Amino acid sequence: MELNERAELDTSQANDLGRGSGGSGGGFGIPIPGGGGRGGIIGIVVAVLVALLGGGFGLNAMTNGDEGGGQAGGADLEQLCSTANPDRLDDARCRNLLYVNSIQDYWKKAYPELGRSDYEVTTTNFFQAAVNTGCGQADSGVGPFYCPADRKVYIDLSFYDELASRFGAKGEFAQPYVLAHEYGHHVQNLLGTNAKAGQGDQSGPRSASVRLELQADCYAGAWARNATESKDKTGQQPLFKSITEADISQAIDAAEAIGDDSIQERSGGRVNPDQFTHGTSEQRKRWFNQGYDRGDPKTCDTFGTDQL
């Protein structure tokens, strides 16, 4: 993977909230179904009956009592990621901003082909340790997620270290795969797929939750196939100079590493399909490849097939 050092990045598509940041959101913790312990790994957050369930995280414990919406420790991405900074792409925030720009430039073109109106651009919030969202409060333990309530993506970039050390997905291209998966959930939200899936089973090998996650993997693959065609803020410069098959293999490795069965085995338990929420390693790999091989999100209909 080679990034274009001359690309003008659209900093309006991301915020660096810093540590323990507030923002919009309610006063309850976020319940995330799935895999590794108390948090899900790369998924969609749906805050349902949080108060009755008791929540998961207290605001004071997460933010040292600061309920404000400030950006403690956050960076000015416009300055940090400007072409005037020769070292900007050495910074994970600027690299991930570039990935976000590429993913959303792709969807600006691909989304109308799904028979809908124009794509709605949204932001990714980089945070450290804890964050308050439209779906409730979360800490880094939940992993990257998309919140349908405020239509934003959230990620503590330290997750990539865990992805490499705990799950063995060490390649750099695992990072844009993670973001492309989350923006797949944003597309699902715009299409109404999330709402329909919320009416179905939320766990099990053929559940609506699994279908939703596999479709997001497929959408990520479709972006990866077309990523080198994405343009920067000016519409003139490519964001990626090149993406290799080795890069795609890194994305596939990441998809395999976070399959439900793989996470259950790594946690020391037995594989229990009734608890699946994201799909097996084989399924996640296969649906990413489906999107990548076809390069067309219309081929990502995980809800219309029995062959998951």
Q: Mind giving me the DSSP string for 212-261?
A: HHHHHHHHHHHHHHHGGG-B-TTSSSBSEEE--HHHHHHHHHHHHHT-HH
Mean pLDDT of 220-239: 97
Q: Whole-angstrom Cα distance, residue 166 to residue 177?
A: 17
Q: How confident is the model at residue 284 (pLDDT cuts 50, 70, 90)?
A: very high
pLDDT of 281 strictly over 60: yes
Condensed to tens digits (0 to 9), the pLDDT of residues 184-225 reads 999 999 999 988 888 878 888 889 999 999 999 999 999 999
Q: Whole-angstrom Cα distance, residue 137 to residue 3?
A: 34
The whole model's pTM is what? 0.85
Mean pLDDT of 60-75: 38
Q: What is the pLDDT of residue 44?
A: 57
CB 153 within 8 A of CB 183: yes
Of 228, 219, 249, 244, residue with least CA distance to 98: 228
pLDDT of 31 strictly over 70: no
Of the CA atoms within 13 Å of residue 235, those in its CB half-sphere come to 2
Condensed to tens digits (0 to 9), the pLDDT of residues 91-147 reads 999 999 999 999 999 999 999 988 778 999 999 999 999 999 999 999 888 889 999
CB 59 within 8 A of CB 67: yes
